[in-house]
């Protein structure tokens, strides 16, 4: 393997830069030329490709976002689009491609390797933590800390006003951001797509809490369940308590990556390069029980993400 390419695709996540840095420097260390592909699969189709050296990735480990930029690309979903991508890879002499992104980006990599003679390795880069095969994805920990900071601030104001406060967090269809921040932020209720919730029960908990002397009530709501504004209105109507909704939005995707995300990204980036050197393809890298693992991309994509019931139950017990 003489030349490899690296791209970031789908939603950005803090720690993607640390992963790019690890890929580039590990590659160079092994005598491999590393090409950076801008704007995900879209830049690949357009040939937005340039060589990365050690200094190209200097001073980025602490930066959020991705220096390679990211994009979503409909054309790559078509066989014709992928054929075009393969031709571009051939022109640049790229034999192996490291894709940093989520399940959509991995599906693209899987199809590219199925259809053409190009080796692909996937690195989990998404704040959602929605990939079942890995305990954590790059960016999740930073997003948790960003949300937690917001929750702490909301606590101050909702306590002063003795209000109910709903914080809507990202995660697409996955409730992990809500579950982890709800537990860490001491929320009274956590509402996630993976668990049924009963609106009347929720209101009862709020009213009972008020009677027990709770000065505020914090609800962390995963975006996959529904809108926070609508829920706030309904709660106010039923409980008679002032309720405010805060949608944290894209703030959750930014910021300097935490130590955890930087270390995870560095370990995964280095392992991805090793796999290509070993001649492996259609693998994804991840972390389980603090060990770096790799497995077949098709198997990884077929795994169903399970919610951590222990964490969910613990949060319930501790919120009382």
Taking the complex as a whole, the smallest distance from the CB of residue 194 to ligand F6P amounts, in Å, to 15
Q: Does 140 bind ligand ADP (CB under 6 A)?
A: no
What is the spatial distance between Cα 20 and Cα 36, in angstroms, rounded to a whole number?
9
Determine which residue in the list 33, 63, 69, 77 makes contact with ligand ADP, applying CB under 6 A: 77
Which partner from the list ligand F6P, ligand ADP, none does 172 bind, CB cut-off 5 to 8 Å by kind? Answer: ligand F6P
Binding-residue total with ligand ADP (CB under 6 A): 17
Determine which residue in the list 7, 23, 41, 261 makes contact with ligand ADP, applying CB under 6 A: 41
Contact range with ligand ADP by CB under 6 A, out of 107-115, 198-206, 275-283, 298-306: 107-115
Considering the complex, state which of residue 28 and residue 148 has its C-beta at the smaller distance from ligand F6P. Answer: 148
Determine which residue in the list 24, 118, 127, 276 makes contact with ligand F6P, applying CB under 6 A: 127
Active site residue 128: yes
Q: Does 253 bind ligand F6P (CB under 6 A)?
A: yes
Residues with Cβ within 8 Å of residue 78, at least 6 apart in sequence? none
Which partner from the list ligand F6P, ligand ADP, none does 77 bind, CB cut-off 5 to 8 Å by kind? Answer: ligand ADP
Which partner from the list ligand F6P, ligand ADP, none does 103 bind, CB cut-off 5 to 8 Å by kind? Answer: ligand ADP
Q: Does 21 bind ligand F6P (CB under 6 A)?
A: no
Query: Checking DSSP bridges between strand 164-169 and strand 189-191, what pairing results, if any?
Result: unpaired
How far apart, in Å, are the Cα atoms of 253 and each of 10, 83, 128, 211, 224?
Answer: 12, 32, 10, 38, 17
Contact range with ligand F6P by CB under 6 A, out of 126-134, 199-207, 231-239, 240-248: 126-134
Considering the complex, state which of residue 105 and residue 217 has its C-beta at the smaller distance from ligand ADP. Answer: 105
Query: Checking DSSP bridges between strand 3-8 and strand 33-37, what pairing results, if any?
Result: parallel
Determine which residue in the list 111, 172, 214, 280 makes contact with ligand F6P, applying CB under 6 A: 172
Residue 244 belongs to what H/E stretch? strand 243-247
Taking the complex as a whole, the smallest distance from the CB of residue 125 to ligand F6P amounts, in Å, to 10
Tell me, letter by letter, the H, E, C secondary structure of 104-165. HHHHHHHHHHHHCCCEEEEEEECCCCCCCCCCCCECHHHHHHHHHHHHHHHHHHHHHHCCEE
The total of other beta-carbon atoms located within 10 Å of residue 248's CB is: 21
What is the spatial distance between Cα 74 and Cα 59, in angstroms, rounded to a whole number?
32
Write out the two tokens for 211. 């009677």
How far apart, in Å, are the Cα atoms of 73 and each of 44, 87, 95, 138?
Answer: 10, 17, 21, 21
Determine which residue in the list 6, 52, 170, 225 makes contact with ligand F6P, applying CB under 6 A: 170
Please identify which of the residues 12, 103, 128, 294 carries the catalytic annotation. 128
Q: Which residues of 161-197 are buried (b: 16+ CB within 10 A; e: fewer)?
A: eebbbbbbbbbbebbbbbbbbbbebebbbbbbbbeee
Taking each continuous run of H as one helix and of E as one strand, the counts in the chain are 11, 11
Which residues are at the interface with ligand F6P (CB under 6 A)? 11, 102, 126-128, 170-172, 223, 253
Q: Which residues are catalytic?
A: 128
Which residues are at the interface with ligand ADP (CB under 6 A)? 9-11, 41, 72-73, 76-77, 101-105, 107-108, 111, 126
């Amino acid at each position: 393997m003489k030349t490899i390419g690296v791209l970031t695709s789908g939603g950005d996540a803090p720690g993607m830069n640390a992963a790019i840095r690890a890929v580039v420097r590990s590659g160079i260390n092994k005598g491999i030329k590393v090409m950076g592909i801008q704007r995900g699969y879209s830049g690949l189709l357009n040939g937005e490709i340039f060589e990365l050296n050690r200094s190209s990735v200097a001073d980025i480990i602490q930066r959020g976002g991705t220096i390679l930029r990211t994009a979503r690309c409909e054309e790559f979903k078509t066989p014709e689009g992928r054929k075009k991508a393969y031709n571009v890879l051939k022109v640049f002499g790229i034999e192996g491609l490291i894709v940093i992104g989520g399940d959509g980006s991995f599906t693209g990599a899987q199809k590219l390797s199925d259809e053409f003679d190009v080796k692909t390795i996937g690195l989990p880069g998404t704040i959602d933590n929605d990939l079942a095969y890995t305990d954590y994805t790059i960016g999740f920990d930073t997003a948790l800390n960003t949300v937690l900071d917001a929750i702490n601030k909301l606590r101050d104001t909702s306590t002063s006003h003795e209000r109910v406060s709903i914080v809507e967090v990202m995660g697409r269809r996955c409730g992990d951001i809500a579950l982890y921040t709800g537990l860490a932020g001491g929320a009274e209720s956590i509402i996630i797509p993976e668990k049924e919730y009963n609106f009347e029960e929720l209101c009862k908990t709020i009213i009972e809490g008020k009677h027990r002397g709770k000065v505020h009530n914090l609800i962390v709501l995963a975006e996959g369940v529904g809108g926070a504004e609508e829920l706030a209105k309904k709660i106010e109507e039923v409980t008679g308590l002032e309720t405010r909704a805060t949608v944290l939005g894209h703030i959750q995707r930014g910021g300097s990556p935490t130590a955890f995300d930087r270390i995870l990204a560095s370990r995964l980036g280095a392992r991805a390069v090793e796999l290509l050197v070993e001649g492996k393809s259609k693998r994804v890298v991840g972390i389980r029980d603090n060990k770096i693992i790799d497995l077949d991309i098709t198997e990884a994509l077929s795994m169903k993400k399970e919610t951590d019931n222990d964490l969910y139950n613990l949060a319930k017990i501790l919120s009382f």
